[in-house]
Amino acid sequence: MMAEEFDAKKVAEQIYRYSGGVKNVESFENCMTRIRLEINDHDQIDEQKLKEIPGVLGVVNDEQLQVVVGPGKVNKVEAAMEAYSGEKGINNRTAAEERAKEVKAEAKKKQKQSPFKSLLKDIANIFVPMIPAFVGSGLIAGIAAIISNLITNKTLTGETWNQIALVLNVIKAGMFTYLPIYTGINAARVWKATPTLGGVIGAVILLTGMDPNAPIKNLFTGAGLTANQGGILGVIFAVWLLSVLEKKLHQWVPDSIDIIVTPMICLLVIGLAELFVIMPLAGFISDGLIGGINWILNVGGAFSGFILGALFLPMVMLGLHQILTPIHVQMISQTGNTPLLPILAMAGGGQVGAAAALWLRLRHDRKLVDMIKGSLPVGILGIGEPLIYAVTLPLGRPFITACIGGGIGGAVIGAIGKVGAIAIGPSGLPLIPLIDNHRWWAYVLGLLAAYIGGFIVTYFWGIPTDKLAVERAEAAAEKEKNVRSLTGQENDPDTPTAKLQETTLQAVATGELKPISEAQDPVFAQKSMGEGYVLLPSGNEVYAPAAGTISSVFPTKHALGFTTETGIEILLHLGIDTVDLKGVPFDVQVTEGQQVAAGDLLVKADWQAVIDAGKLTETIVALPELGEAGEFELGKTGKVTAKEQVATIKSK
């Protein structure tokens, strides 16, 4: 059976519909795999309907609503949502401010989040938007490292290759050199501080402009501060303090001077605290973490390999893996390679093995399989974030078994020993050319062990029980379908699957009715929005074409979404290009979620105002989701009266 074509516009519209409508979405943004929505009233979310949207691979309804659609698709859905609502991030605070104040506090009470869980979510929100930059820069860094390695080995010669490696490293440095700035900006957004102030606080740890021969002194030890001391941990804590201070100052400082005084005080106070307190303390903590890692390495053997390989995925999830970079750099400078990187790379191998097991055991879960298909190739290439955030972590148990798989691979490399990488780059297969002393075979053995270990542990112990129950039901249904096909029952008219539901459509107004192919709007005329009809109204009242539920009311009131009692989606579009009129000619009589009977009044339209504005009054009834799942028959054209039966729909 062919996979259903992904329709970003339809997905965007349904995300709004089942999230409580456009007015219930305060803002939204996308990361690599998901749309993240800030919701005013979580009670209006229909989580089950969101999960059933074709193309949606998962839903997380926490303080923030997250809808997973997968890499390569999320940007299309984000653009479609922007087009649907009319603006990026929508920000409906003006319309929903009073209601939001009441329901947000109530929603947070219901969720009962622990402080630790909230902190983990905040940290993830800081780093997830940077995943595309990590992926792109990491791959470029890997290519540059391979070229540099081949130059060192005299396999590649000539100034041209040196220039290529240099250019790639310059591009790569655009991400990793200024990572504290990006982290500061994102952290400020998460904690509702000014993003640019967060970026400046992040830049402070770079110590730009400081003379290395006359450094700023560490107040605790008297030693000179070094750039990036305390790393990302220090930046995150400093920006959190910034958010607390900035909110207080906004309350205390008079509005007339707030724009001048507040930023200056924030940067001065937090900047000084960062230089003289946070950087030294965060550096001490980071040194402690590094010391612990070095202790594990010194223990040696399979034990060290297992511990490091198993713990690296949680570190990636928290963004803490960046603190390992100085260790890699120091080891390479001292010994020529880093034995830590090949072991940590096994974590990605465990993810790959776990994803393969999920694919095999839950192969009837089309959404999950599609997600794995999109994430697995980059996982094999050493980019593990899509598999972590879109596949294993949301399911829970597979994340743990993937960690165990990484530990198994790490144990193999640790047992073999003396496996080091000469450069820092992506893990997975791209790391093979960077393994030193011709011991690439040991790295490959470890990678295979991680694949197999992650697969076996996940296959037998990592499948969520609820998912497994659904899979068994789907498998039984498929088996029954195959039996029906073999016995000739599939086309038996007496079987329930052969029966079609019939829905009658009425004329939504008095006027002249035509097939939708004669619409003035080419999008509707080409049936891009499905079958339906066009009506040139002569009266100002617009009525419901059938019994059902108002699923959405566009902010500009020029269109309504409607779901019939038989589950048919209907789009009622009032006029052509009337979105420009900002809803002025339309007095909508219903609200989202309201049940209506066939013929109930939906809208009072001032068609003369539409005409005076130079727009067409053609009103369109379209069936955007009917497709091949049903049949549409237009029974009457020409002059019609409101509420007169004009068409029928037969659907499965």
Q: Kindly tell me if the per-residue pLDDT of 484 is higher than 70.
A: no
Edge-to-edge strand ranges of the sheet holding 511-515: 595-596, 548-553, 559-564, 569-576, 616-623, 531-537, 511-515, 638-640
Mean pLDDT computed over 135-140: 68
Q: Per-residue confidence at 430, pLDDT binned at 50, 70, 90?
A: confident
Largest CA distance in the chain: 91
Q: Are 602 and 543 in contact (CB under 8 A)?
A: yes
Q: Kindly tell me if the per-residue pLDDT of 97 is higher than 50.
A: no
Beta strand 531-537 pairing with 511-515: antiparallel
Over the stretch 563-608, which tens digit does the pLDDT of each residue have?
Answer: 888 788 888 989 987 877 888 899 999 888 888 888 999 999 999 9
* CATH of region 501-651: 2.70.70.10
Mean pLDDT computed over 120-138: 67
Mean pLDDT computed over 364-381: 78
pLDDT, residue 269, reads: 94
Q: Kindly tell me if the per-residue pLDDT of 639 is higher than 70.
A: yes
Mean pLDDT for the chain? 80
Helix H or strand E encompassing 176: helix 159-176
CA–CA dist 508, 546 (Å, integer): 9
Q: What percent of the chain has pLDDT over 70?
A: 79
User: Whose CA is closest to 572, among 557, 593, 587?
Assistant: 557
Q: Per-residue confidence at 135, pLDDT binned at 50, 70, 90?
A: low
Residues with Cβ within 8 Å of 618's Cβ and at least 6 positions away in sequence, in order, are 519, 520, 521, 534, 535, 536, 575, 576
Over the stretch 152-163, which tens digit does the pLDDT of each residue have?
Answer: 767 788 888 889
**Domain segments of the chain: what residues?**
8-113, 132-461, 465-498, 501-651
Residue 217 DSSP one-character state: B
Q: Mapping DSSP to helix (H, G, I), strand (E, B) and coil, where does residue 620 land?
A: strand
Q: Per-residue confidence at 535, pLDDT binned at 50, 70, 90?
A: very high
Interhelix angle 115-127/179-190, rounded to 10 degrees, is 130
Over the stretch 315-332, which tens digit does the pLDDT of each residue have?
Answer: 765 545 655 665 665 566
Q: Per-residue confidence at 93, pLDDT binned at 50, 70, 90?
A: very low
Q: Kindly tell me if the per-residue pLDDT of 547 is higher than 80.
A: yes
Q: Are 72 and 22 in contact (CB under 8 A)?
A: no
| Whole-number CA gyration radius for the chain | 30
Residues recognised as catalytic: 31
C-alpha distances out from residue 344 to 293, 304, 489, Å: 11, 11, 55
pLDDT, residue 477, reads: 65
Q: Which fold has domain 8-113?
A: Gyrase A; domain 2 (3.30.1360)
Q: Kindly tell me if the per-residue pLDDT of 20 is higher than 60.
A: yes
User: Whose CA is closest to 228, among 202, 262, 248?
Assistant: 202
Tokens of 428: 């997975």
Best-predicted range by mean pLDDT (135-149, 359-373, 413-427, 441-455) = 441-455
CA–CA dist 115, 536 (Å, integer): 58
Residues with Cβ within 8 Å of 644's Cβ and at least 6 positions away in sequence, in order, are 506, 507, 636
Q: What are phi and psi of 224, to 5 degrees?
A: -75, 140
Mean pLDDT computed over 299-311: 87
Q: What are phi and psi of 67, to 5 degrees?
A: -115, 115
pLDDT: which is higher, 484 or 519: 519
Q: Per-residue confidence at 488, pLDDT binned at 50, 70, 90?
A: low
pLDDT, residue 319, reads: 45
Q: Kindly tell me if the per-residue pLDDT of 403 is higher than 60.
A: yes
pLDDT, residue 3, reads: 42
Q: Per-residue confidence at 111, pLDDT binned at 50, 70, 90?
A: very low
Q: Per-residue confidence at 376, pLDDT binned at 50, 70, 90?
A: confident
Best-predicted range by mean pLDDT (117-121, 292-296, 360-364, 390-394) = 360-364
C-alpha distances out from residue 65 to 195, 351, 613, Å: 22, 25, 39
pLDDT, residue 536, reads: 93
Q: Kindly tell me if the per-residue pLDDT of 240 is higher than 70.
A: yes
